[in-house]
Structure 1
């Protein structure tokens, strides 16, 4: 990607990182994702901010878990997604960090916080998905390989709809292409990769699968506080098809979210949409011809309105 500074100052620009020829089913090379959209009112705030800034939001995701939303709230989330052509991806609620065991709350065990502990919690994880599917949701954040395999098998047997999307969480992000390929083989539909990947690392990941990759262009402090929205043109060129995710540095953690954190969640999500708007300005300035998917695009896990 030639940049204005290179054109002006004739700085060397390396072209040895291969561009991706991959695309989403609609021919687009990237989509915008806004994470930590924790309930209907936060989703409405995201949509309002998107209208203000002229940003197309293709996917919203949620981290507290479907299990912490009422059935009515799940249906409201599904209805908003269906009406606006936005994928709604909900975290599977049970996880070690919410469980009675102390391991996930220790420094050494924190990295396993998204996993499910024991058969009973695995059962609750599957039921969390089925409950949300009944309410119309069609996309889920997965942080446990056993759960991913179980859901894949249930989908293959017809017990879960074919259109459901299994989005591997950043909590399970692969650090190398071999691990990424394992997740793809286990049935992942789309995979979060670490937010600190170099261009070469991203190209290596892209070389082993045509699955969409999810990459934080800005991440929370807990994920390193990376801020690289200005790099969107290069990252899309190398990683397409790519979900460009906008977390937020210097923001209050809202997991698990409830009424006590609702104002923070709303402010956070509006700031994330603003960050996406700024990144899209950088994309336009670069001269890139990368296309973003429109609402209701093929391949999105858009919810169904519950009967």
Structure 2
């Protein structure tokens, strides 16, 4: 099939291939912001405290922190403390739904990360639902989901009023999202924030934006076990074409710290501080390359779509 025929085929199904100069996205967050900053791997209240301290020192505004070890790896007291810190600082706290294939007894997820976030069996799915209920009961209003079935069930629970309507459901990087139709499916199932695959060119991410209304989460520095790219020079074009965007800062040349705990508390906190430093680097470059895109609304506005904990 000729190239032009392939392009026409994609367009026929409502997902055209973007070519040439990419169009600017007119969408924003509820407060008019085109981007927000997310610090991932914030593995508990002590790491969160380190991230907030580093952000204040460097003058970096953090909008969301996300945690990867899961709700089940935090005590009630730790979750309450994170919720209180997030509420006080106006920062969304996003917790991973704990059970996942990579930690289960099965072998497939250990052989390929493609199955790492899967909930193996209905009992594990039920455990994920229990994690969600527990986190919400402790004040959390943002959850990180690694399984399509879990996403669908949590989305239905929101529709039925079992979970709060304002609850954010963010897809994990463990759920492959490499094209626009997949992003549209995740959104229909209930996703409010879409973590795209880490190796996509800007064009592919812009195509996902064109197919969805959900926020797009993009690693601009990628952990080694997810590809290891450092793409600070893409930040301006990502924001221009794919807004609203959560700009995520991982750290290359760093160990996987999941599940985290006291045995690596110092490392986890230092990594949190370094992610804030990486955010400063990316923001400085953005201001140099595209000062018009670097402007952000007043931090005190507490936008309605930033799911700050309820305490």
Establish whether TM, by shorter chain, passes 0.5: yes
Q: Does structure 1 conserve the Cα–Cα contact (< 8 Å) formed by 2:144 and 2:172?
A: yes
Alpha-carbon offset, residue 208 of structure 1: 0.6
Structure 2 matches for 1:104-253, cutoff 5 A? 104-107=109-112, 110-253=113-256
| C-alpha distance in structure 2 between counterparts of 1:136 and 1:77, whole Å | 9
Q: Which has the higher contact order (CA 8 A, sep 6+)?
A: 1
Instruction: Tell me the TM-score normalised to structure 2 length.
Output: 0.91
- Cα shift at 1:15: 7.0
- Deviation digits for residues 22-67 of structure 1, max 9, x if unmatched? 1011111000000000000000000001001100000000000011
- Alpha carbons 1:191, 1:214 under 8 Å: kept: yes
Alignment partner, residue 281 of structure 1: 284
Report how far residue 163 of structure 1 moved: 1.2
Q: Deviations over 1:211-262 (max 9, x none)?
A: 1100001010011111112321111111100000000000121001011111
How far, CA to CA, are the matches of 1:277 and 1:138 in structure 2?
27
Q: In structure 2, what is the equivalent of residue 292 of structure 1?
A: 296
Query: Paired residue for 1:6?
Result: none
Segments of 4+ moved more than 4 angstroms = none
Unpaired segments ≥5 residues, structure 1: 1-13
Cα distance in structure 2, aligned partners of 1:225 and 1:41: 26
Q: 1:38 aligns with which of 39, 43, 53?
A: 43
CA deviation string 1:74-130 (max 9, x = no partner): 1001000000000000000011111122221124xx311101011111111000010
1:56 matched to which residue of 2? 61
Q: Matched residue pairs, number?
A: 290
Distance in 1 separating the partners of 2:82 and 2:98: 16
Q: Distance in 2 between matches of 1:105 and 1:118?
A: 17
Counterpart of 1:289 in 2: which secondary structure?
helix
Q: Conserved in 2, the CA contact under 8 Å of 1:233 and 1:288? A: no
SS of structure 2 residue aligned to 1:207: helix
Is the contact made by 2:141 and 2:168 (CA closer than 8 Å) also made in structure 1?
Answer: yes
